[in-house]
Structure 1
């Protein structure tokens, strides 16, 4: 009954399919990784700053295991989980007692974000730290504008709603984290075309997984969107912005 009351903003099947496509794309040598690399670097900087020395860590969405390799090199026991391979953040975690839990670009497309954060907190050992990074409110303004131009007088939902800093802080408090912190930073990336931008987004798991994604763009609508995206740029490049939201908190 409780599950039936959850908002059905995102399609679990589309979400898994998008992440499986991302996992396949990330096996390519030239796959774009700037979003995950930025999050990885930020996590390592935060851990160094707080001087937290976990013995056991759970990493969710660490595509390519780059963060896992970095932590393993520090003598930390690492457990990897991936939503595309069956791990569900909206259910109680199958094991607990972790000194560190990190989620990379996964929590922005769960229907029960408060519940996922509660499960994350419950899986921590006392004194454990949780860090979750994902694209937040303010991301993809150029894509949003291009899609509106393509749809014309009948706009459809093509970019999903996102969490802002204030809401993120409230969610951490609601989940019972101690010393909750929510902050964001932006990452700007230039693209020569709408197609290149969309290919990059999909290769990094940033795509439409809404339960009601709207009708597909026809050729004329896509041409309008591509032209609007191109016209928003300068010198042959359109800059897209990602607002990366990071939530962190402790279990006391």
Structure 2
């Protein structure tokens, strides 16, 4: 259901853009559902994914996000759903997106970011004691994502997030949701498996924190990115120090000496 929420949000953001897009590249989760919607809007859709099974089923291109095999200026819209945080070279992938977009092309992306599953992480850390290991792959926070967009040479970058408050009645369902979204540890140097003893402690802590409602409270933060390929006609930020109004005065609502 995370991908369904991201698809709906991406479509809403796309509706707010007063532009007509003709050729779009879709990468990652829920590509088929999103692609069908964009095809209804008259767009030519190309799919790409690192999964051979998924890419083949969609008639798409099998490739990694940081090795997109497309010519310069191939797309005026690129949408990445849920996979940017799982690749080796994120700055390189963003720079590559900039290269294969036409000038003033739009990049939209969504994925689960840091500050997610904090309750479960704290339970696992408490259960493992002084032998803590990574069981959920490293995640990106909002500030870092915004910096990476600018570093890749993309313009007008915006990174914002939406927090989902969830309640689980079983530990198995929570872990299943994480695995289904590809959120378990995918690093080459895998963490050791959780022992049966530690697993029992985790279950006990989960049950204790579920009282008195019988539900374990968890939160997931979805991160959304928006940025444009450079173009001479895009708005430019005002030079530093050129402002004529006092921000302090504006925020206070009164005169300042």
How far apart are residue 213 of structure 1 and its match?
A: 2.6
Equivalent residue for 1:51, pick from 10, 13, 18: 18
Distance in 2, matches of 1:93 and 1:64, equals 18
- Residues 87-236 of structure 1 correspond to what in structure 2 (within 5 A)? 87-95=63-71, 96-234=73-211, 235-236=213-214
How far apart are residue 245 of structure 1 and its match?
A: 1.0
Distance in 2, matches of 1:160 and 1:204, equals 12
Distance in 2, matches of 1:174 and 1:47, equals 24
How far apart are residue 93 of structure 1 and its match?
A: 3.3
**Bigger relative contact order, structure 1 or 2, given CA contacts below 8 A and separation 6+?**
1
CA contact (8 A) 1:190 1:237 kept: yes
Task: Give structure 2 stretches of 5+ with no counterpart.
Answer: 53-61, 232-257
Residue in 2 that maps onto 1:24: none
Distance in 2, matches of 1:103 and 1:114, equals 14
- Structure 1's consecutive aligned runs of 4 or more residues displaced over 3 angstroms after TM superposition are none
Distance in 1, matches of 2:31 and 2:106, equals 22
Question: In the TM superposition, what whole-angstrom CA distance separates every residue of 1:119-161 from its partner, at most 9, and x where no partner exists?
Answer: 1111111221001111111011022112112312211122222
Question: In the TM superposition, what whole-angstrom CA distance separates every residue of 1:77-124 from its partner, at most 9, and x where no partner exists?
Answer: 111111212311112433452111000110111121100100111111
Question: In the TM superposition, what whole-angstrom CA distance separates every residue of 1:177-219 from its partner, at most 9, and x where no partner exists?
Answer: 1111111111122211211111122122222112223110111
Question: In the TM superposition, what whole-angstrom CA distance separates every residue of 1:199-252 from its partner, at most 9, and x where no partner exists?
Answer: 122122222112223110111111111222232234111122111111110112
Residues 1:240 and 2:218 are matched in the alignment: yes
Which TM-score applies when normalising by structure 2?
0.81
Distance in 1, matches of 2:189 and 2:29, equals 28
Computing the radius of gyration from Cα coordinates, the structure with the larger value is 2
- Aligned-residue Cα RMSD (Å) equals 1.5
Distance in 1, matches of 2:205 and 2:69, equals 44
